[in-house]
Amino acid sequence: MHNNTAIHAVRRPLPLTLRRAVATDLPAVLALLAEAAGWLNDRGVRQWPVGGFPAARIEPLIAAGTLYVLEATGDPRDGRNGSADRRGGGTIVATMALDDFADPEFWTPEDRPELAYYVHKLCTARSCAGLGLGRVLLDWAALRCLADGLPWLRLDCAKANAGLQGYYRSLGFRHVRTVDLPHRASGALFQRPVGLPSHDRVIDLTIDLDAAPATAPRGRDLALTS
């Protein structure tokens, strides 16, 4: 995948590579998710397990080719790194899964789940908070939907996290409904129509994904800049 994407919200351009995660990325991804889970739980948000996710929850996403990582080849925030990448010497500063799995506890047949891709495990390094990396990944995901002829990008998030829900609304997502299940912290459902990204500074660097695993979203990989 192209490696000349840059985030310009830092003192100097931060080169980024968006790529599929591989098995050797697992420790860095787990560390990133654990950091995010700890930060949420410290603030009373019980969306993710304390300590993050076990490897058994993340390994299938990597094997299926549906987990992506955003890797910085420079030092974000003047040297305060995310999780060290064991693949190519860069720093993994964000991760996201994108696939066609519509959680059946949330999405019903009336929602036409086949008309969307679904975002899971989206998080960015705390050292990169405020740089817009989440927005970049969501815009890329929306363009993947567009490339594959799907009208919707969907996700679910914590029912009690009003701040996160507001963040998604600010990026063009609409609240569909909230499913209140006692055994699930998540349940606030959002969707966003695909089309133009949430901002106007996008570089379209496309390559074909003919060799993609069958379970992964097909079409084109699009590297973005915020």
Residue 222 counted as domain residue: no
Q: What is the pLDDT of residue 187?
A: 95
Select the more confidently predicted residue: 157 or 51.
Answer: 157
CB 3 within 8 A of CB 220: no
**Span 15-45, pLDDT tens digits:** 788 999 999 999 999 999 999 988 888 887 7
**Span 137-169, pLDDT tens digits:** 999 999 999 999 999 999 999 998 898 999 999
Residue 224 counted as domain residue: no
**What does the mean pLDDT of the chain come to?**
80
Confidence of residue 84 (pLDDT cuts 50, 70, 90): low
What is the spatial distance between Cα 68 and Cα 185, in angstroms, rounded to a whole number?
24
SS3 157: strand
pLDDT higher than threshold 70 for residue 8: no
5 Cβ neighbours under 8 A, 6+ residues apart: 15, 16, 17, 18, 203, 205, 223, 224, 225
Residue 214 counted as domain residue: no
Report how many domains make up the chain: 1
Confidence of residue 76 (pLDDT cuts 50, 70, 90): low
97 Cβ neighbours under 8 A, 6+ residues apart: 61, 66, 67, 68, 119, 120, 121, 122
Residue 157 counted as domain residue: yes
Residue 134 counted as domain residue: yes
Select the more confidently predicted residue: 12 or 16.
Answer: 16
Other beta carbons within 10 Å of 16: 28
- Indicate whether this model's pTM tops 0.85: no
- Boundaries of domain holding 143: 5-200
Residue 223 counted as domain residue: no
Residue 128 counted as domain residue: yes
The predicted model gives 128-141 an average pLDDT of: 90
**Span 173-217, pLDDT tens digits:** 999 999 999 999 899 999 999 975 555 443 333 333 333 444 455
Residue 30 counted as domain residue: yes
The predicted model gives 62-69 an average pLDDT of: 96
Q: What is the pLDDT of residue 129?
A: 85
> Tell me, what CATH number does 10's domain have?
3.40.630.30
